Amino acid sequence: MEKRIGFIGFGNIAQAVARGLTATGACAAERLCACAAHFDRLQKNAAALGVRAFERAEDVVSWSDFVVLAVKPYMVEAVLAPLRELLADKVLISVVSGYDFAAYEKLLSPKTRHISAIPNTPIAVGEGIMICEDRHSLRAEEMADFEAVFGRVAMLESVPARLFSIAGTLSGCTPAYTAMYLEALADAGVKHGLPRATAYRVAAKMLCGTGKLYLETGTHPGAMKDAVCSPGGTTIRGVAALERGGFRAAVLDAIDAAEGEA
């Protein structure tokens, strides 16, 4: 893609997106720029990726065709207010939690095309997910560019506004929960004699492979479990132990907590 992409805010998720874009060749580093509140820190992080650093958000907007808004939710209105006219006739890609199409319609110039998306951290290695609100104002060719670039680093999943939050939670929060599971599996391996590095590699590859098996075959997760559980065997005994420990209930509780439910 010949268009230039600028980041307003360059925290963990913005850096993950930039890293994925450059590592996969979806967008060359010289076509990326960023600004952030702390310029000295920005310079260090941007240099590590070969990304251009700007001190002012106005410069990012002027230089870019696609502008990725990646600031904290409480900062959105203050950041956008002085950029409203500059953003007119640009494409804004929001990766800010809690801001959907309707919210931006109140903040942006009518000429600004925009889409709200929630990426997760595995986008840094080209294995991410981007939950995209199905309502947007991008032109057909702009949407094609968006899909061509970000589809290289993430599975793009479109949902209506009412499901935007839960879809983002399921994709965006759960890498933390999965990392905890990975760590617990490795601890168990170490407990039984495996070297720590070996235990992490084996458990991590298992997680990757299980996800890929589902995506490529569409086999129901219950059937995938059953295929490994021989009658009276070791796996079903482990499944029973997880059930006694409330494994499924704990997962449901974690998602409820992330969604703000008691």
Give the residue extent of every domain in the chain.
5-172, 174-258
User: Is the Cβ–Cβ distance between 149 and 20 less than 8 Å?
Assistant: no
What is the model's pTM? 0.92
Segment 5-18, tens digit of pLDDT: 999 999 999 999 99
Q: The dihedral of CA 117, 89, 80, 23: what is its sign?
A: positive
Within 8 A by CB and 6+ apart from 148, the residues are 1
User: Residue 102 pLDDT > 60, yes or no?
Assistant: yes
User: How far apart are alpha carbons 67 and 90 in whole angstroms?
Assistant: 7
Q: Contact at 8 Å (CB) between 79 and 8? A: yes
Cα 69 to the center of its chain, rounded Å: 14
Please give the Cα distance from 102 to 124 (Å, whole number): 29
Q: Band of the pLDDT at 44, cuts 50, 70, 90? A: very high
> Given this model, what pLDDT does residue 262 score?
57
Burial 132-165 (b: 16+ CB within 10 A, else e): bbeebbbeeebbebbeebbeebbbbeebeeeebb
- Taking CA atoms, 22 is separated from 26, 117, 187, 192, 260, in Å, by 6, 19, 34, 40, 35
Mean pLDDT of the chain: 96
199-209 per-position pLDDT tens digit: 999 999 999 99
Q: What is the pLDDT of residues 174-219, one digit of tens each?
A: 999 999 999 999 999 999 999 999 999 999 999 999 999 999 999 9
Host H or E run for residue 117 = strand 113-119
Task: Give the Cα separation of 256 and 83 in Å (integer).
Answer: 36
Quick one: tokens of 62? 């002027």
Compute the average pLDDT of residues 74-102.
Answer: 95
Report the C-alpha gap between 198 and 204 in whole angstroms.
10
Q: Which residues contact 9 (CB under 8 A, 6 or more apart)?
A: 34, 35, 36, 69, 70, 71, 72, 75, 79
Q: Which CATH superfamily is domain 174-258 in?
A: ProC C-terminal domain-like (1.10.3730.10)
For residue 2, name the pLDDT band (cuts at 50, 70, 90). Answer: confident
Quick one: pLDDT band at residue 1, thresholds 50, 70, 90?
low
Q: Which has the minimum average pLDDT: 1-5, 14-18, 151-155?
A: 1-5
Q: State the virtual CA torsion across 216, 222, 227, 232 in degrees, nearest 10.
A: 160
CA dist., res. 213 & res. 247, Å (int): 22
Nearest to 127 by CA among 5, 246, 23: 23
Query: What is the band of 261 on the pLDDT scale with cuts at 50, 70, 90?
Result: confident
Residue partners of 127: CB distance under 8 A and separation at least 6:
154
Percent of the chain at pLDDT above 90? 97
- Contacts of residue 179, Cβ cutoff 8 Å, sequence gap at least 6: none
Using the predicted structure, report yes or no on whether residue 157 has a pLDDT greater than 70. yes
Q: What is the CATH number of domain 5-172?
A: 3.40.50.720
